[in-house]
Amino acid sequence: MKRILFAANLESFFIKFLIPELKWFKENGYEVHIAAKSEDIDIPYCDRKYDVDFARDLNIKQNIRSYKQLKEIFKKEHYDIISCHTPFGGAITRYAAKKSHLKDTKIVYMAHGFHFYKGAPLFNWLVFYNVEKYLAKYTDNLITINLDDYEIAKKKFKTNVYYVKGVGLPEEKFAFEMTKQDKINLRKSLNIKEKDFVMIYPAELNKNKRQIWLIEAVQDLLKQNKNMHILLPGTDSMNGACQKLVETKGLTDQIHFLGFREDVPKLLNISNLLLTTSKREGLPVNVMEAIYVGLPVVATSCRGNRDLIKNNKNGYIVDIDDKEKFVKKILKVYKMDKKEIEKIKQEDKNIIQDYLLSNVLKEIIDIHLK
């Protein structure tokens, strides 16, 4: 029986992004193994799990430990394909595979967003760029999911480079119906009125997503428009810093911290506008989901956002630190009539087709099998 190993930093990464791939290989006769740092998660379509202590940073001891663990795996297991994901999981796995002198094993790396990009710190270019350039020589097929990464890799790396539009948006996430009353009730549960203008930014609260920047940008706008609300579903990695800032600004009635939510598609359906203020993205799922439901988007100009948002067509791209323009674009959407919103919905519908799982999965599988 053919065998494939998927490697990524954490088990939760598989649940978020890789289940369709695991399912395809399992159903097509492969024995499926995964290597990841254990989180005690039950992962479907997986025959064997290896607990590998991947780091998420430049922790030398941890990186050496994970390298040795992978070398031991490669001593006793033969894989037809090794599919690598995440920066450290992907790098350590490929290096261990190279040093293990594997025969007849295809190495595939899917870059979900390089750590080097236009505007990234010099350190990222000195370290991460050179690591990826070195490992590309030992990678059979490299998959990128946005045009910025594709152009760099195609020009600079010695390997086969492919561009695929993300990991695929599964339409079944939106296989539900919401009546007008359902939407009113969900808004009511969040202390939001039927006619209020609702903005949403589903994302982990962290420095890269820049919720603090967003709060500071919109504080005057919200104070002048009490019918405006912002929903912030997502786990908090900033120890309550955003909540404290909102309290200081007197905006607790308008900015809603929702924590982890499993009903983000429904929250998108009661919203009028998606906001995203990231510095760095691979290909943002929150933007894809917003486009799927037909929302306009106001976003900062970073990699990934630029792939999905056609400026002045289905939303607006704003320079990374331009708070004034960001607010102006919010107001522009706020003042739109139904005809303008309908035009955006149609544009969204056209754009999202290429990013659906039904279209993307076949490309990803074909690259693994080349």
> pLDDT tens, 36-67?
999 999 999 999 999 999 998 889 999 999 99
355 φ/ψ sector (left φ>0, alpha ψ -120 to 50, else beta): alpha
Q: Same structural domain for residues 180 and 144?
A: no
Q: Same structural domain for residues 138 and 197?
A: no
Asked, for residue 367, whether it belongs to a domain, the answer is no
Asked, for residue 366, whether it belongs to a domain, the answer is no
Q: Same structural domain for residues 181 and 158?
A: no
pLDDT value of position 288 = 97
Instruction: Show which of 123, 145, 163 is a domain's final residue.
Output: 163
Domain count within the chain:
2
Q: Same structural domain for residues 150 and 179?
A: no
What residue numbers bound the domain in which 218 lies? 171-355
**Dist. CA 342–CA 329, nearest whole Å:** 17
Instruction: Show which of 163, 185, 204 is a domain's final residue.
Output: 163
Task: Tell me what the mean pLDDT of segment 107-125 comes to.
Answer: 94
Q: Is the pLDDT of residue 118 over 90?
A: no
Q: Same structural domain for residues 149 and 211?
A: no
Q: Is the pLDDT of residue 276 over 90?
A: yes
DSSP E strands in the chain: the ranges are: 2-10, 30-37, 48-51, 81-85, 106-111, 141-144, 160-163, 197-200, 228-233, 255-259, 273-276, 297-300, 315-318
Q: Same structural domain for residues 176 and 295?
A: yes
CATH of the domain at 238: 3.40.50.2000
**Dist. CA 304–CA 36, nearest whole Å:** 26
Asked, for residue 296, whether it belongs to a domain, the answer is yes
Asked, for residue 370, whether it belongs to a domain, the answer is no
Pairing of strands 106-111, 255-259: unpaired
Q: Encode pLDDT of 183-224 as tens digits.
A: 999 999 999 999 999 999 999 999 999 999 999 999 999 999
pLDDT class of 119 with cuts at 50, 70, 90: confident
For the stretch 188-191, contacts whose Cβ atoms lie closer than 8 Å and that sit 24 or more positions apart, written own/partner, are 190/229, 190/231, 190/256, 190/258, 191/253, 191/256
The tokens of 177 are what?
A: 């119906």
Q: Same structural domain for residues 72 and 213?
A: no
CB crowding 120-147: b at 16 or more within 10 Å, else e: beeeeeeebbebbbebbebbbbbbbbbe
Per the CB < 8 A criterion, the answer to whether 117 and 108 are in contact is no
Q: Same structural domain for residues 176 and 124?
A: no
